[in-house]
Chain A
């Protein structure tokens, strides 16, 4: 097989890899489904609460049959039904700092698909501390964003959002865009974990479905970043930049 495919070696690397996906709703659901179907060896899901009817416009791992029951366990069961060779772990709540750190420490990548910036920035911190890649998938209405980051060699999420943006309790979602962003997050993770393909390191992908526009934007690292600038010295930055 030539370029443009997931090689056999790459598939074996996937089999030996672990991915931690926090929130498995509109974006994390499709992302974890694609990781499972691709054969990532261990997929760790974190999502609290019960499935409710309004979730079903985007949460592809759920169905009418699972309403009013915990999301994480039923989503994990569904993923196991899709690929018996994958180990799926379910965390039925939002991990706190210590738990997120422990989960990141035994993962090879973190996919952040959470509704709050507080949780996204926490996941960014633990990925940076564990020195593993971090993918941030987000959406609003028909707009999606994706960032593929590795603190120490690219900007981290705290560089991009030095001030925590305000929380929005209710937000519009078109499932088609959240699924698209989630699938693209999985694609980037598969490339990272398999070593196949060119990863969009350090870039922001904007996918504006409403205005039919897409763009890749290289993200600027903040030398004063409260997260990554305190974890990595300049020597490490320079060394790692050569790897990207």
Chain B
């Protein structure tokens, strides 16, 4: 199956090479999607556990604190790396 992935926030330039869609086995979990995304990122770079997780525009928590999430074909997954700035 294919899901659409959007990454925002801090250091999202690291995901420049990431395609808009990623392919996953069906069914798939959020953890499997994140594992796939991390494989596609530059070596040594991974998404931080405090990234916010949105699925279809709904907030589900952060990567390190969320209820179980099953993904379906066509889902839109948004990950927002926390920003502070000042």
Contact = CB atoms under 8 A, between A and B. Distances in A.
Interface stretch (A61-69, A78-86, A187-195, A217-225): A217-225
A168 B48 CA distance: 12
B12 A143 contact: yes
Interface string A20-43: 000101111000000000000000
B9 A140 contact: yes
Nearest to B60: A220
Interface string B7-24: 011111100000000000
A218 B58 CA distance: 7
A145 B84 CA distance: 9
B74 interface: no
B-side interface size class: 20 to 34
B31 interface: no
B8 A143 contact: yes
A140 B59 CA distance: 21
Nearest to B80: A206
Interface in A115-150: 115-117, 120, 138-141, 143-145
A134 to B, nearest CB: 15
Interface stretch (A9-17, A102-110, A159-167, A227-235): A159-167
B10 A163 contact: no
Given A162-B65, A163-B49, A163-B50, A138 B85 contact: yes
Given A145-B83, A162-B65, A163-B50, 18 more contacts: A23-B86, A114-B86, A115-B84, A115-B86, A145-B80, A165-B84, A166-B48, A168-B84, A171-B84, A173-B85, A178-B85, A206-B8, A206-B80, A213-B8, A217-B59, A218-B58, A222-B61, A222-B65
Interface of A: 23, 25-28, 113-117, 120, 138-141, 143-145, 160-168, 171, 173, 178, 204, 206, 208, 211, 213, 215, 217-220, 222
